[in-house]
Structure 1
Amino acid sequence: MTSIESATRASTEFDIAALRAQFPSLASGIAHFDGPGGTQTPRPVADAIAATITSPLSNRGTGSVSEANADAAVTAFRQAYADLLGVPARGIVHGRSATQLTFDFSRVIAKQWRPGDEVVVTKLDHDANVRPWVIAAENAGTVVRWIDIDPTTAEIDPTSVETAITERTRLVAVTAASNLLGTKPAVRAIADAAHAVGALVYVDGVHYTAHQFVDVPALGADLYVCSPYKFLGPHCGVLAASPDLLETLHPDKLVPSTNAVPERFELGTLPYETLAGATAAVDFLADITPAAVGSTNGNSSRRERLQASLHAVDEHEMRLRRLLEDGLAALGADVVVHSRAADRTPTLLVTLPGRKTWDAYQFLLGRNVLAPAGSFYAHEPFHRLGLDDEHALRLGLAPYSDDTDIARVLDGLAAFLAQ
């Protein structure tokens, strides 16, 4: 048995009260179901940001303490996300957001496309992994093909995958988990089909990374993007790829700017304090559970600790999801849950036939329960489900969610429906 397997099979329970105590914002009393849009921030992440920005800080270098501090923040950030995602540190690129990174890389990758080439996007994705590729394809004279979903199950249609990917496909963009519905498609199977015709695979892991232990190479992703603020970190984006692949891509940049990978994709001076906070978020995740503090030999790596912790988080969130689903089912036909895929995250999309979910959102706010209503930038799946003319409630769980949160949102919905 490997040390990773040992850590994963060790005790995975964690003290939810102790965990919640590390989130100052939870003292407000709000029951947060808005995690898919951005999680709350634990104290160690805020402390890391404050410590970095109030310490001596300059542009990167080694000649002074302030320069060395900046350099150390960048180095630590790259290694932290290498450990989180399973790629080399030289394959980690910082961005302002996942949306910005995808737009940037769509323009860079599209330089290699020619008229008649094809790009594949899906009806399951957040628009940030659709529109950049559609726009880039239009500008390059490239054909856009679509992978469809079954609106009754919210799962990708395998037949659609077979017909969408052809010998002319140059890139397939697919989500690892839907931010709207929680659906986790068979990314590896899609990636294998894409690689069989020589296409690149760009995976939106923004929602997936918040709930799963990630192995980018195992997913078959050539490029993988995520957002630390969706998993307890500050507001920024991260792209992971093989350094060898990044060496083949050439972004527009200033003449004096370095041509080294990954720095050539990062325009301007990096926000060192944000990088420190993003690093602290990975460390926080790695040490959530007692089992993650050390493997059986007491010397586990950060990646091993991450696997143990995220396994425990997954079990915790799935238990709460089952409680939530059972409670929603008990409300009867007044509630429709659209998240029905066999494999999905603890995120539920809900509508209330005959009632406006925006009104439910406002009602729940009055009870200090935050369950947002909207389409959540998931333009394609929202319309594919036939929800064009209404909002939907999205109930998303996070590591700090607890049983009381579940009871409060269910009680609130029952009270709203009883009006």
Structure 2
Amino acid sequence: MPLDVESLRSHFPSLSSGIAHFDGPGGTQTPSGVGQAIADTLTSPLSIRGSSVASERNAEAAVLGFRSAMADFLNADPLGVVYGRSATQLTYEFAKHLSARWGPGDEVIVTRLDHDCNIRPWVQAAEHQGATVRWVGFDPATSELNLDEMKAALGPQTRLVAVTAASNLLGTMPDIPVIATMVHDVGALLYVDGVHYAAHASVDVKALGADFFVCSPYKFLGPHCGVLAASPALLETLTPDKLLPSTNAVPERFELGTLPYEIMAGATAAVDFIAALGGGGGSRRERLVAAHSDIEQHESFLLRLLETALADLPAVTVHSRAAARTSTLLLTFAGHPAADVSRFLAERNVLVPASNFYAIEAAGVLGLGEAGGLRAGLAPYTTLDDVQRLIEGLTAFLA
């Protein structure tokens, strides 16, 4: 395999715990360099952004470094990179900004495949404005988003479509470029939840055709925060409420108050860590693309082994079946609540959470309700031994 996993793992102090982590979709472990970048920024001379002394310049460098790093990570314009506390917070904020133009007769489309973060803000915003919500489903047998339903729901009255680039519950990766063409053909905007996608694939916002793309660095080895990318020209058309003396420049007009420079520096360090996995040649963007190729090969190899083993286990249903998907599996067990399986595995130091993971609509379509299922997510630091421990634990539980 092209990815040197043992070398990679040496940068993660938390992995010495002996826990086999399959909880990456909820948040990955963090390399020491990210923590060091946060500590160094926070304990170095630091003050409000400026250029007169070192403390001001350090703050300015942290912000600009963050925008540059995330722009390389997403293939976006640095001036269109907005910092947020989380993807949920950013989506609520932009739902407010965008829905200010909606009214009766306007429509917004959401899908039942999405995390509630990319559903409820739009549903609630539409309700406030008197707009109509249209729903697009997915096939529980294949976990594929129904693009025919999407096409039928679109029309001249559509103002925005919210869709996931990868389901955090099932791993399904809908064809976003195709959806983008459909959405733009009716003059609507496309808001893409890329939180789960960005952890497993090389993101190219321009190629995807997303007008807005959100992700969370803590899902790809960074600190807890959110990022939104859009074209600066599109952001210029939105006028959020803000304090009178605060800047009206894009993207700062969307970032209220003093920014957390140390968290931004940590996110930059996470991007640089991933880029380093792609070798020493080329631009940071080129190294990121190379690194993601190696990561995808590594995770795909382990996924195939896991799926082969699961096929031999009795009473296991694998719900993740889409043709294009991430290395994430949702499992349920005949006669056994997923929570019981999760607790059994945890006693063996194998962490595989059970829940609906805020994908409440998707869990409902699958008939799983609030209990959800067991979600096993692979990460760049997952080893063959981790996978074997998971298989052995499931085998022992079902024996």
User: Normalization by structure 2: what TM-score?
Assistant: 0.99
Residue-by-residue CA offset, 1:274-312 (whole Å, 9 max, x unaligned): 0000000000010114xx311xxxxx1000000000000
Tell me the equivalent position of 1:259: 248
Return the alpha-carbon distance in structure 2 between the equivalents of residues 335 and 293 of structure 1: 43
Residue-by-residue CA offset, 1:365-407 (whole Å, 9 max, x unaligned): 1000000000000011110111126331000000000100100
- Post-superposition shift, 1:363? 0.6
* Residue of 364, 387, 396 corresponding to 1:406: 387
Tell me the equivalent position of 2:325: 344
Tell me the equivalent position of 2:3: 14
Q: Does the CA-based 8 Å contact 2:363-2:370 persist in structure 1?
A: no
Residue-by-residue CA offset, 1:247-277 (whole Å, 9 max, x unaligned): 0011111111110000000011000000000
Letter in 2 for 1:303: R
Counting only pairs closer than 5 Å after superposition, residues 1-400 of structure 1 correspond to structure 2 as: 13-289=2-278, 292-294=279-281, 300-332=282-314, 334-388=315-369, 390-400=371-381
- Post-superposition shift, 1:15? 1.3
Q: Does the CA-based 8 Å contact 2:354-2:371 persist in structure 1?
A: no
Return the alpha-carbon distance in structure 2 between the equivalents of residues 193 and 18 of structure 1: 44
- Post-superposition shift, 1:227? 0.1
Q: Does the CA-based 8 Å contact 1:316-1:399 persist in structure 2?
A: yes
- Post-superposition shift, 1:56? 0.4
Q: Does the CA-based 8 Å contact 2:66-2:268 persist in structure 1?
A: yes
Percent pairwise identity = 62
Return the alpha-carbon distance in structure 1 between the equivalents of residues 291 and 371 of structure 2: 38
Structure 1 residue runs without a partner (length 5+)? 1-11, 295-299
- Post-superposition shift, 1:43? 0.9
Return the alpha-carbon distance in structure 1 between the equivalents of residues 92 and 370 of structure 2: 28
Letter in 2 for 1:68: R
Return the alpha-carbon distance in structure 2 between the equivalents of residues 389 and 60 of structure 1: 45
Letter in 2 for 1:293: G
SS for the counterpart of 2:371 is coil
- Post-superposition shift, 1:14? 2.2
Letter in 2 for 1:372: P
Kindly report structure 1 stretches of 4+ aligned residues shifted beyond 2 Å: none
Residue-by-residue CA offset, 1:223-266 (whole Å, 9 max, x unaligned): 00000000000000000000000000111111111100000000
RMSD between superposed Cα atoms in Å: 0.8
Return the alpha-carbon distance in structure 2 between the equivalents of residues 75 and 161 of structure 1: 38
Letter in 2 for 1:186: D
Letter in 1 for 2:147: P
- Post-superposition shift, 1:63? 1.2
Letter in 2 for 1:327: A
SS for the counterpart of 2:168 is coil
Letter in 2 for 1:260: A
- Post-superposition shift, 1:330? 1.3
Residue-by-residue CA offset, 1:31-52 (whole Å, 9 max, x unaligned): 0000000000001111101110
Letter in 1 for 2:144: E
Return the alpha-carbon distance in structure 1 between the equivalents of residues 147 and 195 of structure 2: 23
Q: Does the CA-based 8 Å contact 1:149-1:156 persist in structure 2?
A: yes
Return the alpha-carbon distance in structure 2 between the equivalents of residues 209 and 247 of structure 1: 25
Return the alpha-carbon distance in structure 2 between the equivalents of residues 195 and 319 of structure 1: 36
Q: Does the CA-based 8 Å contact 1:102-1:128 persist in structure 2?
A: yes
Return the alpha-carbon distance in structure 2 between the equivalents of residues 243 and 145 of structure 1: 29
Letter in 1 for 2:268: T
SS for the counterpart of 1:206 is coil
Return the alpha-carbon distance in structure 1 between the equivalents of residues 304 and 52 of structure 2: 55
Q: Does the CA-based 8 Å contact 1:356-1:391 persist in structure 2?
A: no
Return the alpha-carbon distance in structure 1 between the equivalents of residues 372 and 185 of structure 2: 40
Q: Does the CA-based 8 Å contact 1:170-1:199 persist in structure 2?
A: yes
Q: Does the CA-based 8 Å contact 1:360-1:416 persist in structure 2?
A: yes
- Post-superposition shift, 1:113? 1.1
Residue-by-residue CA offset, 1:165-207 (whole Å, 9 max, x unaligned): 1110000000000000000001111111110111000000000
User: Normalization by structure 1: what TM-score?
Assistant: 0.94
Q: Does the CA-based 8 Å contact 1:180-1:376 persist in structure 2?
A: yes
Aligned residue pairs total 399
Return the alpha-carbon distance in structure 1 between the equivalents of residues 147 and 187 of structure 2: 20
Letter in 2 for 1:388: G
In 2 relative to 1, CA 81–275 (structure 1 residues): closer, same or farther, beyond 3 Å?
same
